[in-house]
């Protein structure tokens, strides 16, 4: 049987840490050339590129903010010139700042919402237009169970992730006209820098509350993401799939 993403060209936002880095590696193992952007760590970017290339695939890394609309347009054009049009896009990059709503500052609210919601437009649009021209593509958005359930997470983070669900559902209907699917994974708590910002008390409660009895590993989500973006997942569109280790609802 062929690899899940054989011959695909993927772009992953926030590709140097946690879930994003795992997605880059698993996608490469499954046959995709992978480009990604990152915010600051050149050393991590080089590590991810080496892991992609170790699977015999091509890699490109860009130090550009996900909110930089001009920068993202430039990246999309540069990748197309080098490889051809991107046909798999993963909107993974996100930020959070643990806080109570009553003490959330204007600056904190704007940072989280502008990054997590604004990036959906800045990152998706240039690659979406390529997909429209090719009449094929798969977009996967990494949202959070915090957008669906009443959990002790920051209000601005949950708000931004709920916006991603609306983005997924609405865009999926428009995109279907061009042979493009748009789906999302609502992630539970994973062993990442972002997940580990939660209070230790909450993490211990989580391990009891979730039937798996632990946090998820980034590679576990990446494995499912590869299937969701593959041609074998041919009839799913506009869906939000929960991957959270079996949380009690």
Across the chain, what does the average pLDDT equal?
A: 92
Between CA 224 and CA 211 the distance in angstroms is 19
- Amino acid 190: pLDDT: 80
Domain layout of the chain by residue ranges: 9-243
Dihedral through CA 18, CA 24, CA 27, CA 29, nearest 10?
A: -100
Overall average pLDDT of the 20-43 stretch: 97
- Amino acid 4: pLDDT: 98
Around Cβ 185, how many Cβ atoms within 10 Å? 25
Q: Which residue has the higher pLDDT, 212 or 57?
A: 57
Of 91, 237, 243, whose CA–CA distance to 169 is shortest?
A: 237
Between CA 180 and CA 138 the distance in angstroms is 6
Predicted model pTM: 0.93
| Token duo for residue 91 | 């909107």
Around Cβ 99, how many Cβ atoms within 10 Å? 17
**9-243: which CATH architecture?**
3-Layer(aba) Sandwich (3.40)
- Amino acid 214: pLDDT: 77
Q: pLDDT tens for residues 71-105?
A: 999 999 999 999 999 999 999 999 988 889 999 99
Q: Reduced to 3 states, what is the DSSP secondary structure of residue 141?
A: strand
Percent with pLDDT over 70 in the chain: 92
Phi, psi of 232 (to 5 degrees): -70, -25
Instruction: Using the predicted structure, report yes or no on whether residue 211 has a pLDDT greater than 90.
Output: no
Question: Where in the sequence numbering do the catalytic residues fall?
Answer: 157
């Amino acid at each position: 049987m062929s690899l899940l993403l054989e011959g695909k060209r993927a772009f992953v936002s926030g590709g140097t840490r946690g879930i994003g880095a795992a997605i880059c590696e698993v996608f490469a193992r499954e046959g995709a050339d992978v480009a990604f952007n990152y915010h600051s760590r050149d050393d991590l970017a080089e590590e991810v590129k080496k892991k992609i290339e170790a699977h015999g695939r091509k890699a490109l890394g860009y130090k550009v903010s996900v909110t930089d609309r001009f920068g993202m347009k430039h990246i999309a054009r540069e990748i197309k010139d080098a490889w051809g049009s991107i046909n798999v896009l993963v909107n993974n990059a996100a930020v959070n700042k643990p806080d109570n709503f009553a003490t959330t500052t204007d600056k904190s609210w704007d940072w989280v919402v502008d990054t997590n919601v604004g990036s959906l437009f800045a990152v998706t649009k240039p690659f979406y237009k390529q997909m429209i021209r090719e009449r094929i593509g798969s977009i996967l958005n990494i949202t959070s169970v915090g957008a669906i359930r009443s959990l002790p997470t920051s209000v601005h983070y949950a708000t931004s992730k709920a916006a991603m669900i609306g983005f997924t559902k609405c865009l999926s209907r428009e995109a279907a006209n061009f042979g493009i699917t748009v789906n999302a994974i609502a992630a539970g708590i994973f062993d990442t820098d972002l997940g580990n910002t939660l209070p230790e008390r909450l993490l211990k409660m989580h391990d009891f509350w979730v039937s798996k009895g632990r946090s998820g590993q980034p590679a576990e989500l990446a494995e499912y993401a590869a299937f969701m973006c593959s041609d074998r997942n041919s009839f799913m569109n506009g869906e939000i799939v929960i991957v959270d280790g079996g949380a009690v609802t």
